[in-house]
């Protein structure tokens, strides 16, 4: 008998490109070792998880987030993007962002991600080293895009200092099983051509991802045309920005030419439906993107603009919105939405060979969803339930890199009460600064 770390027994396993089936799974050294029946006769497991009445599926890959904004959740709502950013978010960021704040806020955000079944996230923020520490502490996989702006930011005076920092972080976390760094120019309206080109070269040199907000509002597109004579994707393409792997967040206002450019490059779109609807930024046109062959993935954006991290809610909302917009209930069937939120995200982050699906040899990034409840019964098609019936409350167990980080909705690697206490502490400070109290 071979010794393994975890034996997951009798779950409804959503194995990649196979029909859902009751199966068991052997997990060892962070990887999926075998999927099949009667595995308990073959392996001795350190831990056994009874997955009866549970859907066993790949964890969600969140391709656009600002995890350390967790303490700004619900701070300012019901405003246009520019006003929300410049009058509410930037002032509190200027006052509060520090290494300590980011480490605490990121830990809270990572905890919230795990509670929503997210096993990998692609972030854009500042103080990536502290976010990495929190991600490693809780045990979540992360691609951390260090934000670049032409103006001074919380941790640096200019973009060149940030480029140096990214090199240092890339080197520091080289051996980490969970952390990668990325280059994240904030947007074309906060980052000039010179820094965008430097960002591109740095990403190419280190072989890492670029992550940028793009075409989020009509105004951004109009301003770009006025300034450069080109639309945003054409402008970036004019200096080879898409020669690297790029995660383009939002990308709502793309014309035909821009979609063709993204389709022929190694770029992916992070769809952020809740955030875009809430800020009335507009709609993505999924159908056309898919017809052009652009890789799609799901992002939550930060909780300050969403205001939650539920991927199940994102895909349910996006699927229904797209059906209505296209006057076609057959587009984006449930299984395809789940694939966009899992393997689509893995492709976007250039991690297709490691995560995003349940396959032997891939990383054991797995979530277990309870179906033995009123909302989940009767159960004919797990994909249908995931997109149209269930909420994150039914996500019970989360395994990342072969380690259990949530069991029966209780986080294993951090003390949830401590996290709640800390967020109340920061809430008081932020309220005082805003003159609310």
Interaction site with Zn ion (CB under 5 A):
301
- b/e burial code for range 115-136 (CB count within 10 A of at least 16 → b): bbbbbbbbbbbbbbbbbbbbbb
SS3 268: strand
What is the nearest approach in angstroms of Zn ion to the Cβ of residue 249? 5
Distance (Å, whole) CA 303 – CA 65: 8
CB-nearest residue to Zn ion: 301
Cα distances (angstroms) measured from residue 299 to each of 260, 328, 370: 22, 24, 24
Give the residue with the Cβ less far from Zn ion, 109 or 402. 109
What is the nearest approach in angstroms of Zn ion to the Cβ of residue 188? 14
What is the nearest approach in angstroms of Zn ion to the Cβ of residue 305? 7
Give the residue with the Cβ less far from Zn ion, 249 or 395. 249
Give the residue with the Cβ less far from Zn ion, 129 or 301. 301
**Residues 6 or more apart in contact with residue 32 via CB below 8 angstroms:** 25, 26, 358, 359, 360, 361, 362, 363, 364, 366
What is the nearest approach in angstroms of Zn ion to the Cβ of residue 87? 17
Give the residue with the Cβ less far from Zn ion, 93 or 301. 301
**Residues 6 or more apart in contact with residue 125 via CB below 8 angstroms:** 66, 67, 68, 69, 102, 106, 131, 144, 145, 146, 147
What is the nearest approach in angstroms of Zn ion to the Cβ of residue 250? 7
Q: What is the helix (H) or strand (E) element at residue 237, kind and residue range? A: helix 232-237
Give the residue with the Cβ less far from Zn ion, 13 or 279. 279
What is the nearest approach in angstroms of Zn ion to the Cβ of residue 408? 32
Tokens 């994707």 correspond to 233
What is the nearest approach in angstroms of Zn ion to the Cβ of residue 124? 6
> How distant is the alpha carbon of residue 137 from its chain centre?
18
Distance (Å, whole) CA 271 – CA 62: 10
Contact 51, 39 (CB under 8 A): no
Give the residue with the Cβ less far from Zn ion, 24 or 306. 306
Give the residue with the Cβ less far from Zn ion, 104 or 301. 301
Contact 241, 210 (CB under 8 A): yes
Give the residue with the Cβ less far from Zn ion, 92 or 367. 92
What is the nearest approach in angstroms of Zn ion to the Cβ of residue 175? 29
Please tell me whether the peptide bond between 294 and the residue prior to it is cis, using omega within 30 degrees of 0.
no
Contact 385, 57 (CB under 8 A): no
Tokens 């599926």 correspond to 57
Q: What number of other Cβ atoms are within 10 A of residue 285's Cβ? A: 17
Return the axis-axis angle of helices 159-172 and 193-206, rounded to nearest 10°: 10
- Of 303, 377, 257, whose CA–CA distance to 125 is shortest? 303
What is the nearest approach in angstroms of Zn ion to the Cβ of residue 66? 6
Give the residue with the Cβ less far from Zn ion, 64 or 115. 64
């Amino acid at each position: 008998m071979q010794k393994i770390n975890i034996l997951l027994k009798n779950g409804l396993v959503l194995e990649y490109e196979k029909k859902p089936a009751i199966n068991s799974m052997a997990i060892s050294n962070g990887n999926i070792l075998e999927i099949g029946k009667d595995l308990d006769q073959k392996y001795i497991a350190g831990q056994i998880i009874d997955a009866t009445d549970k859907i066993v599926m790949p964890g969600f890959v969140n391709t656009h987030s600002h995890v350390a904004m967790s303490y700004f959740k619900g701070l300012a709502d019901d405003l246009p993007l520019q006003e929300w950013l410049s009058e509410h978010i930037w002032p509190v960021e200027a006052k509060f962002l520090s290494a300590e704040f980011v480490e605490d806020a990121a830990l809270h955000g990572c905890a919230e991600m795990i509670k929503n079944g997210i096993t990998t996230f692609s972030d854009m923020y500042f103080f990536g080293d502290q976010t990495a520490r929190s991600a490693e502490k809780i045990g979540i996989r992360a691609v951390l895009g260090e934000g670049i702006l032409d103006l001074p930011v919380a941790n640096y005076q200019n973009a060149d200092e940030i480029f140096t920092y990214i090199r240092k972080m890339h080197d520091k976390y080289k051996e980490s099983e969970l952390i990668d760094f990325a280059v994240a120019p904030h947007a074309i309206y906060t980052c000039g051509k010179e820094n965008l080109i430097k960002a591109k070269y740095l990403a190419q040199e280190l072989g890492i991802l670029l992550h940028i907000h793009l075409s989020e509002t009509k105004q951004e597109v109009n301003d770009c045309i006025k300034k450069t004579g080109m639309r945003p994707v054409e402008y970036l393409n004019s200096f080879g920005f898409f020669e690297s792997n790029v995660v383009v967040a939002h990308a709502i206002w793309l014309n035909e030419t821009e979609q063709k450019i993204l389709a022929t490059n190694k770029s992916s779109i992070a769809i952020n439906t809740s955030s875009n609807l809430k800020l009335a930024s507009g709609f993505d046109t999924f159908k056309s993107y898919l017809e052009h062959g652009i890789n799609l993935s799901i992002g939550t954006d930060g909780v300050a603009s969403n205001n939650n991290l539920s991927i199940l809610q994102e895909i349910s909302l996006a699927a229904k919105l797209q059906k209505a917009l296209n006057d076609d209930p057959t587009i984006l069937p449930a299984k395809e939405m789940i694939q966009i939120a899992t393997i689509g995200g893995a492709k976007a982050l250039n991690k297709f060979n490691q995560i995003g699906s349940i396959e032997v040899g891939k990383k054991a990034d797995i979530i277990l969803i309870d179906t033995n409840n009123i909302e989940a019964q009767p159960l004919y098609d797990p994909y249908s339930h995931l997109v149209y019936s269930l909420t994150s409350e039914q996500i019970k167990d989360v395994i990342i890199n072969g380690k259990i980080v949530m069991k029966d909705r209780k986080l294993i690697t951090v003390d949830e009460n401590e996290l709640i206490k800390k967020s109340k502490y920061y809430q008081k400070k932020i309220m005082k600064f805003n003159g609310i109290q």
